[in-house]
């Protein structure tokens, strides 16, 4: 026969207070979605450095506008034409006012009788304009074009995608066919058509962006809306009689925020390159106005003899686009739930 084991009351002793607390400890702090995304973004050093670079360039481009003499951006000064960079106290050839001519370094500032207190940090172009001022102003123009593209993405693209995905059926089919028609027309063709109606410049570029830049955002938002509208919290809101606009603002937009932010970060460098390309080939912003594309176009004419006139705006354009792309990759990793550890 099996023996029965008798347990005394002493067998059921309570755990010490410290042991209870150890068992109830939470392994990680509770974080909101935004806090967790910021924590993950800070772990990506490349994205974090890119964020500070973008902020710095925006502050310099927009903050230095009151200190730039706009007349000096347009009026030519032949006595200061094609001067190399000169930074006081820097004894490096190429940055001290000297230019290599026939194998010898020549002080261009002395040869052109430039006053001692007059210097240009990044040199001058063939009309005597300060390259530093023109690059700063050109960066501002490129950022304005990028902000315009972002505006249409966040307004027209998001609204169009939500309406298309929410309504579905015949409305969705018609709206998607419209997007396909717009996407089938190259952006360059749209710009050329705008030039027939408008003059070359910012207006034609903005009009082309307003017509074609928002389609990618609309497609992504529409695809995600089709999934979100069948979720329980959306169905519950519809059952309670919430209006479609209120559901979109309270439930859809917050859950679409990650896609909106990530796609915006990729729209900005695309718009910057689009403006620079149009200005470079001569159908965008034209001289005497300035942009990074105009500076590249002017610099390539003298690239063999004065390479710095093209290198400086090219470096700024590359840094700007690389920074936005790295930040976009970092935000994608931070907001994507599949990469969470």
Per-residue pLDDT averaged across 28-52, rounded? Answer: 81
Domain boundary among 119, 142, 176: 119
Give the up-direction half-sphere exposure of residue 136: CA atoms within 13 A in the CB hemisphere. 20
Range in 16-25, 72-81, 124-133, 209-218 with the lowest mean pLDDT: 16-25
DSSP code of residue 106: E
Could you tell me the pTM of the whole model? 0.79
Pair 109, 158 in one domain: no
* Owning domain of residue 100: 84-119
Q: Which residue has the tokens 């840094």?
A: 319
Number of domains in the chain: 2
> What does the alpha-carbon distance between residue 58 and residue 50 come to, in Å, rounded to a whole number?
12
- Among 123, 118, 124, 140, which Cα is nearest to 202's? 140
Same domain, 189 and 276: yes
Is residue 238 domain-resident? yes
Residue among 145, 141, 166 at smallest CA distance from 210: 145
Q: Region 33-49: what's the mean pLDDT? A: 83
| Residue 20, domain member (yes or no) | no
Residue in the structure block whose two tokens are 């973004």: 41
Residue 273 lies in a domain: yes
- Arithmetic mean of pLDDT, 215-230: 88
DSSP code of 124?
Answer: B
Q: Bridge-partner residues for 96, per DSSP? A: 86
- Residue-wise pLDDT tens digits, 53-84: 999 999 998 888 777 776 667 677 788 888 88
Of the candidates 64, 98, 119, which is a domain's last residue? 119
One domain for residues 103 and 211: no
Q: How far is CA 231 from CA 68, 96, 227, 251, in A?
A: 54, 65, 7, 10
- Tokens 């962006």 -> residue: 209
Helix (H) or strand (E) holding 334: helix 308-335
Together in a domain, 203 and 114: no
Does residue 67 sit within a domain? yes
CB 323 within 8 A of CB 53: yes
Asked whether 132 and 80 are in contact (CB, 8 A), the reply is no
**Residue written as tokens 């594309």?**
293
Q: How many residues does the chain have?
A: 341
Residues 234 and 102 occupy one common structural domain:
no
Indicate whether 107 and 136 sit together in one domain.
no
**166 and 225 belong to one structural domain:** yes
In a domain, 281, yes or no: yes
Claim to verify: residue 179 and residue 255 sit in the same structural domain: yes
Q: For 61-70, 149-158, 159-168, which range has the lowest pLDDT when averaged over its residues?
A: 61-70
243 contacts 124 by C-beta, under 8 angstroms = no
CB of 214 closer than 8 Å to CB of 263: no
Give the lowest-confidence range in 99-113, 136-150, 234-248: 99-113
In tens, the pLDDT along 235-288 reads 888 888 888 888 888 888 888 888 888 888 888 888 888 888 888 887 777 766
Same structural domain, 276 and 205: yes
| Token pair in block for residue 234 | 């959306």
CATH number, domain containing residue 148:
1.10.3720.10
Q: What is the pLDDT of residue 149?
A: 84
Side-chain-side CA neighbours of 71 within 13 Å: the count stands at 1
For position 127, what pLDDT does the model report? 83
pLDDT bin (cut points 50, 70, 90) of residue 146 is confident
Examine the domain organization and report whether 141 and 237 are in the same domain: yes
- The mean predicted confidence, pLDDT, of the chain is 81
Residues 53 and 141 in one domain: yes
Measured CA to CA, the distance from residue 225 to residue 243 in angstroms comes to: 16
Residue 4 placed within a domain: no
Question: Do 95 and 146 lie in a common domain?
Answer: no
For the chain, give the percent of residues with pLDDT over 70.
Answer: 87
- Does residue 17 lie in a domain region? no
Q: Is residue 264 part of a domain?
A: yes
Task: Give the three-class secondary structure for 65.
Answer: helix
């Amino acid at each position: 026969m099996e023996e029965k084991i008798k347990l005394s009351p002493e067998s059921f002793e309570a755990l010490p207070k410290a042991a209870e607390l150890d068992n109830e400890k939470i392994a990680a702090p509770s974080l909101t979605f935004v806090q967790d995304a910021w924590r993950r973004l800070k772990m990506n050093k490349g994205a974090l450095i890119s964020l500070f670079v973008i902020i710095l360039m925006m502050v310099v481009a927009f903050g230095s506008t009151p200190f730039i003499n706009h007349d000096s951006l347009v009026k030519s000064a032949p006595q200061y034409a094609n001067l190399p960079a000169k930074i006081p106290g820097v004894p490096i050839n190429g940055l001290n006012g000297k230019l290599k001519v026939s194998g010898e370094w020549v002080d261009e500032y002395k040869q052109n009788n430039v006053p001692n207190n007059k210097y240009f940090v990044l040199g001058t172009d063939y009309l005597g304009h300060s390259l530093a001022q023109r690059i700063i102003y050109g960066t501002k123009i490129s950022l304005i074009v990028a902000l315009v593209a972002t505006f249409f993405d966040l307004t027209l693209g998001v609204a169009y995608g939500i309406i298309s995905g929410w309504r579905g059926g015949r409305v969705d089919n018609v709206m998607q066919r419209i997007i396909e028609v717009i996407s089938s027309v190259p952006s360059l063709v749209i710009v050329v058509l705008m030039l027939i109606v408008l003059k070359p410049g910012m207006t034609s570029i903005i009009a082309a962006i307003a017509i074609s830049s928002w389609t990618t955002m609309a497609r992504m938002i529409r695809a995600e809306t089709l999934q979100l509208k069948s979720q329980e919290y959306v169905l519950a809101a519809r059952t309670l009689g919430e209006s479609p606009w209120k559901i979109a603002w309270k439930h859809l937009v917050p859950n679409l925020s990650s896609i909106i932010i990530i796609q915006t970060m990729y729209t900005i460098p695309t718009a910057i390159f689009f403006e620079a390309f149009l200005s470079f080939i001569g159908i965008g912003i034209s001289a005497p106005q300035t942009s990074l594309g105009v500076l590249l176009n002017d610099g390539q004419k003298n690239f063999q003899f004065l390479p710095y006139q093209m290198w400086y705006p090219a470096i700024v354009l590359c840094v700007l686009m690389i920074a936005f792309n790295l930040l976009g990759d970092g935000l994608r990793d931070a907001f994507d739930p599949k990469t969470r550890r």
